Amino acid sequence: MITYPNTGSAPYPAMITFGFFSSINTSLSDLGVAVITFPNDDIAEQANTGSRGKGKFYDLFCSDHSAGAIIAWSWGVSRLIDALEKTPEANIDPTKLGVTGCSRNGKGALAAGAFDERIALTIPQESGSGGSASWRVSDFQGPDVQRLTQIVTENCWFGLSLNQFRNSANKLPYDHHMIAALCAPRALLIIENTHMVWLGNLSTWVTGNAAHMVWDALGVPDRMGFSQVGHGSHCILPDSQTPELEAYVRKFLLDDDTQNTTIMKTDGAVSYTHLTLPTKRIV
């Protein structure tokens, strides 16, 4: 479903939202950005672990396909973009696309942005572990945080091959700062909530800072931001973070280079220390 804005002109930039994500729709419409509601549950179900292999992705590729729901959703977003490129009468500019979602759908939004370079702006909100948090740091935080050992028993978001690491996240050959970094040098704004400990308030902050080093190294640090503000309503964007979201939308979907997108902040009592490791000279 495409909802066109009440301002601007066609072809419109657009934000692809995982599910119906009303928290930011009004802001997007007022800016002249269309909203494309992506039915991710139709592509791959996510009711529980018993949902594995159900949905349109698995109808095409067989119910025993190794992909978990998140990467199936990412595939679906890519096919949506293919359709937009071939359908100019939709009045959407396929070169000005963002993707967003909250909680479990934020995990999906991050993956979609990471794996399709046609997405100009990725905004995962309160995606926590399996999204903008690190499995290793979430383990360090302890049982009050969603950890790998729990998440593989909750739902079918990941492939079954991840289960082998459920009690040994430190042996994973990757972590989620690397998933975030796949978006570079394109724009990424991570929105988190300090009060939702289950999301990994320390873990997301550390992971965001680690990922930000990639944009730093590429010379575009203002293309990656992190905003963590504590509040009690999961998936409701507080007023204090709306200007930050709008700055990223204006700059990277509406080409307004006057916007300040240098945002790396948390209001929690969490810290990140960048350790400079010794280097070896290989002869």
The model's pLDDT over 117-154, given as tens digits with 9 standing for 90+, comes to: 999 999 999 999 999 999 999 999 999 999 999 999 99
The answer, yes or no, to whether residue 244 has pLDDT greater than 50, is: yes
- Output the pLDDT for position 22: 67
How confident is residue 269, by pLDDT bands cut at 50, 70 and 90? confident
Terminal CA-CA length for the chain: 58
The conformation of residue 173, written as its DSSP 8-state character, comes to S
103: left (phi over 0), alpha (psi -120 to 50) or beta: left
How confident is residue 21, by pLDDT bands cut at 50, 70 and 90? low
User: Is residue 20 classed as helix, strand or coil in its secondary structure?
Assistant: coil
Instruction: Give the C-alpha separation, 266 to 107, whole Å.
Output: 20
Please give the sequence-ordered ranges of beta strands (E in DSSP) within 193-235, or none if there are none.
224-228
Instruction: Give the C-alpha separation, 26 to 35, whole Å.
Output: 10
- Percent of the chain's residues with pLDDT above 90: 90
Instruction: Give the C-alpha separation, 182 to 174, whole Å.
Output: 12
- Percent of the chain's residues with pLDDT above 70: 95
Task: Assess contact for 33 and 5: CB atoms under 8 A.
Answer: yes
How confident is residue 278, by pLDDT bands cut at 50, 70 and 90? very low
**Cβ-proximal residues to 136 (8 Å cutoff; 6+ apart), any chain:** 169, 170, 172, 175
What the block records as the tokens of 150 is: 């729990």
The answer, yes or no, to whether residue 171 has pLDDT greater than 60, is: yes
Residues marked active site are found at 103, 234
The alpha-carbon radius of gyration of the chain (Å, integer) is 18
- Output the pLDDT for position 271: 73
Residues in the chain: 283
Mean pLDDT for 266-278 is 68
- Output the pLDDT for position 254: 97
Read off the pLDDT of residues 185-243 as tens digits, 9 standing for 90 and up: 999 999 999 999 999 999 999 999 999 999 999 999 999 999 999 999 999 999 999 99
Strand partners, 124: 101
Mean pLDDT for the chain overall = 94
Instruction: Give the C-alpha separation, 24 to 40, whole Å.
Output: 18
- Report the Cα 209 to chain-centroid distance in Å: 15
Task: Assess contact for 113 and 119: CB atoms under 8 A.
Answer: yes
- Report the Cα 82 to chain-centroid distance in Å: 20
Instruction: Give the C-alpha separation, 203 to 93, whole Å.
Output: 35
Which one has a higher pLDDT value, 268 or 161?
A: 161
The answer, yes or no, to whether residue 274 has pLDDT greater than 90, is: no
Read off the pLDDT of residues 42-66 as tens digits, 9 standing for 90 and up: 999 999 999 999 999 999 999 999 9
Task: Assess contact for 207 and 214: CB atoms under 8 A.
Answer: no
- Output the pLDDT for position 143: 94
Claim: this prediction has a pTM higher than 0.75: yes
Instruction: Give the C-alpha separation, 92 to 34, whole Å.
Output: 8
- Output the pLDDT for position 270: 77
The answer, yes or no, to whether residue 281 has pLDDT greater than 60, is: no
